[in-house]
Every structure is written in structure tokens, then in C-alpha cells.
Structure 1
């Protein structure tokens, strides 16, 4: 057996043992804005390519990462509801200033569009999660927040799992 084949087998074995729990942790951190330091969409798509799950397995992955991401975002929402915009300074690896133009724009989107902003910003890769802060500060209803974030995150992760599966099916 060649060293490349052996290392690939070890990698696949490690992924099969630690894969789903590791995905859960990574996506909780991503939802909590801590995971912004690495591209989880690439990580998720790579995991799908390496494991080539069945349809049930793919659905399990989508649900798992969605729940994890929503838990992380809800932590930011709850923290900003309790502590205000200052919660941003407590999040490690997040270089984001509450007085910046970007933060003000997110707040303006939320003030202007409400539900649509909560849903929409969770479908766009570069704005995901930031809406949790103005939503929490404004005491936006918890249930509505969870419904909009959950639905948009489910849609987002479904795409990131479906695309590599479609690619694998096209190659096969």
C-alpha cells in the first residue's frame, strides 16, 4: 500500500469517527461568530465530498450543522439582548467595531426590513450572523428570530451539501 493511500485511509477513518461531532462544534462556533476565521462552507463541502453520504446521511448533516449554527447565533442574540452591542468585544477572533459603518448598515437593514433582514442576511455568506446583534439589542421576539434564522440557515446548508453531492453524481 502506498503512503498516499495509507494516509487517505487514516484521514477517512478519522473523519468517520470524529466527523459529525467535529462538524457540530465547528458550526456552533461559526454561528457564534467565532468560526469566522476559517471557511466553514468549504469545510462542509469537503466533508461531504470525502464521506459521500447517502440521502439520509446528507439530510442528517444538513440538520446537524443547521441546529449547531442556530445555537451559536442564538448565543450571540441572547448575549446582545442582555449586554448590548458590547458583546461584540467579547467574541474572540472577531475584528468588528460596533461603531463601524458595516455594523451601522446591518443595524439599518434590521430597522428597515426586520424579518426579511433576519432571513436574508443568513442566506448571504458574507453577512451571516451579524444580524443577531441588532435583533438582540432591539428585543426582537425570540421565537420569530429562531424561525427566520432556522429556515434561512437550513436553506443555506442544504445548498452547501447538495452542490458537492450533485458534483459527485455528475462525476460518477
Structure 2
């Protein structure tokens, strides 16, 4: 996959970065770390600039986030209620849980979107609950863009600073991602334990 990503970036430049980052947001398993750090490295060997790579990658991220946001809009609270009424007994979820989660996102959604842009996997998927809660699209775009801009700026500059050793950054980010995945899994297990305990 790395060779395919690098080939597109080499051939299409900024537009290739926009496309790849947009796809990365819609299909999270595509590694943004490779795209961003290699994009930073390319600024040392091609006509691409650090500013151009940061802007194009941010545009791609926002496009991908908007796609997931509009998917979330289709899964609004009334539709979730219908799903929960039908299948909730299996998952031990009630319509009250749905309303509670929606109210929580209405209150803290903007900052949740912002901080989740720094968490692997979740950084893309957080756009779906934002749409589901019908979060103000202007606010969503603002915090998504800010969080994405910071993430992209850091990785692109790291890629440019280490030059040909950009793969080292990817490896370190990979370790960071694995730690986050483990923590998320443990948090999920803990939450399930609390929910089941309360239901009993």
C-alpha cells in the first residue's frame, strides 16, 4: 500500500494529497501518517512546499470529514430510536441512552470533535456522531479544520525535518496508534462492564 500511496503523491502532487487524505478520512485504515510525513519529505526533493502540503492535506481531511458528517445526518436520533426499539434489548441499549448520548454531544461536541482529531481511527469516525447529533455545521467545520490543521502541520514538518528518514516518524506514530488502540479497547471493556452492572 505504501508504494501505491507514494506513487500517487509523486504523480499528482497536491491534488493527489487531497484525494488520499479525503479517502483516509472516509476509510480510516489508510494511514495518514505515511501520506503526511512523506508529503513533508517531498518538500525537500520536489517543487512541493510545506505550506502547500499542509493546505492540501487539510482540505482533503475536511472533505472526508464532511462526507462522514452527512452520513451521520442520515442516522439521526429518530432513526436510532427505531433501531434501538428493535434491537436494543440485544445490545442492552435503550432510547434513554440514545437521548443521553445526544445531549452529551450537544454540550461537549465541539471540543470532542477538536480533540478527537489527534486520536488515530477516532479522528475520522468522530464526524459520524457529530452528524447524528445534528451539530451545527459551521461549528463542526471550524473545530474539524483547527484540529486537522494542527495534526497535519506537525506531521508534515516532521517529515520535512527528518528528510529521507521520514519512515522513522511513521514507525513512531504506529507505536502511538497501537497504544491508543489498546487504551480505547480497555475503555470500551470498562464501559461495557459498567453498563452491564447497572442493568443488573
Q: What's the TM-score once normalised by structure 2's chain length?
A: 0.59
**Does the 8 Å contact 1:48/1:164 carry over to 2?**
yes
Decide which structure has greater helix share: 2
Q: Which whole-Å CA distance do the structure 2 matches of 1:57 and 1:128 have between them? A: 25
Q: Which whole-Å CA distance do the structure 2 matches of 1:149 and 1:55 have between them? A: 28
Shift of 1:49: 1.8
Shift of 1:113: 2.6
**Does the 8 Å contact 1:121/1:128 carry over to 2?**
yes
CA RMSD, 1 decimal: 3.3
1:39 aligned to which of 18, 31, 41? 31
Alignment of 1:68 onto 2:60: yes
Name the CA shift for 1:56/1:50 in 2 (closer, same or farther; >3 Å). Answer: closer
Name the CA shift for 1:111/1:56 in 2 (closer, same or farther; >3 Å). Answer: same
| Corresponding residue for residue 94 of structure 2 | none
2:72 aligned to which of 60, 74, 80? 80
Q: In terms of mean alpha carbon deviation, does 142-151 or 130-139 score higher? A: 130-139
Shift of 1:38: 2.5
Unaligned ranges ≥5, structure 2: 1-5, 80-90, 92-97, 166-200
**Does the 8 Å contact 1:110/1:118 carry over to 2?**
no
Aligned residues: 141
SS in 2 for 1:140: coil
SS in 2 for 1:128: helix
| Corresponding residue for residue 163 of structure 1 | 158
Which structure: larger Rg?
Answer: 2
Q: Which whole-Å CA distance do the structure 2 matches of 1:41 and 1:118 have between them? A: 19
Name the CA shift for 1:78/1:55 in 2 (closer, same or farther; >3 Å). Answer: same
Q: How does 1:96-135 map to 2 (within 5 A)?
A: 110=105, 113-135=108-130
**Does the 8 Å contact 1:70/1:150 carry over to 2?**
yes
